[in-house]
Structure 1
Amino acid sequence: MSTTIIDDLGHTTIAGWYTRLADNPCPRRNHWQTKIIYYEAVAELLAGRPERPLTWKTIVGAARPRGCRSTFYEVTGVRARHAMVGELIAEGSMRSIEIAMRYQRPDPVEQLIDETKVWSFWPYRQHFAERARDPGDSPEPVLPSLREALLAWAGLHPALAAANSYRPPACAVEDLALLHRGRLAATRAESRLTEVLRHAR
Structure 2
Amino acid sequence: MSTLAATLHSTCVSEWHMKVRGLKPIKENKPPRAHRRRIDYYNALCRCLDAWRRGTDFSGEDARLAVVEAAGASSSSTLYNLMGKKKQTHPSLLAVVSGTEMEGFLPTEGYSLGCLIAETKVWSHWPHREGWLNGLAAISPDDRHQAATTLIGTLVVWAAENPRLASAGAFAAPLSAVEDLCVIVNGQVPHAAAASLLARAVELAAGPLGTEPDMVLDTLYDDLMNLGFERHWYVDDLLARVQSGVKDLSHLADRMDDEVRGKVTGRLEPMLLELKRLTDRERGA
TM-score, normalization by structure 2: 0.61
Q: Which residue is 1:151 aligned to?
A: 156
**Structure with the larger RCO, 1 or 2 (CA within 8 Å, 6+ apart):** 1
Q: How do 1:21-170 residues align onto structure 2 when only pairs under 5 Å count?
A: 21-23=20-22, 32-49=35-52, 50=54, 51=56, 53-54=58-59, 55-63=63-71, 66-69=72-75, 70-79=77-86, 81=88, 82-89=91-98, 97-107=100-110, 108-136=112-140, 139=143, 140-170=145-175
Amino acid at match of 2:124: S
Q: 1:117 to 1:4 in 2, by over 3 A?
A: same
Q: Distance in 2 between matches of 1:190 and 1:150?
A: 12
Q: Distance in 2 between matches of 1:171 and 1:198?
A: 17
Q: 1:141 to 1:184 in 2, by over 3 A?
A: same
Structure 1 unaligned spans of 5+: none
Structure 1 contact 125–149 (Cα < 8 Å) conserved: yes
Identity %: 26
Q: Distance in 1 between matches of 2:118 and 2:87?
A: 14
Structure 1 contact 167–194 (Cα < 8 Å) conserved: yes
TM-score, normalization by structure 1: 0.85
Q: Distance in 2 between matches of 1:30 and 1:57?
A: 28
Structure 2 contact 5–142 (Cα < 8 Å) conserved: no
Structure 1 contact 73–80 (Cα < 8 Å) conserved: no
Q: Distance in 1 between matches of 2:86 and 2:138?
A: 40
Structure 2 unaligned spans of 5+: 27-31, 211-285
Hey, which bits of structure 1, 4+ residues long, moved more than 3 A? 77-81, 135-138
Q: Which residue is 1:11 aligned to?
A: 10
Q: Give the match's secondary structure for 2:49.
A: helix
Amino acid at match of 2:136: A
Q: Distance in 2 between matches of 1:123 and 1:162?
A: 19
Structure 1 residue 155: Cα displacement: 0.9
Structure 1 residue 189: Cα displacement: 0.6
Amino acid at match of 1:134: A
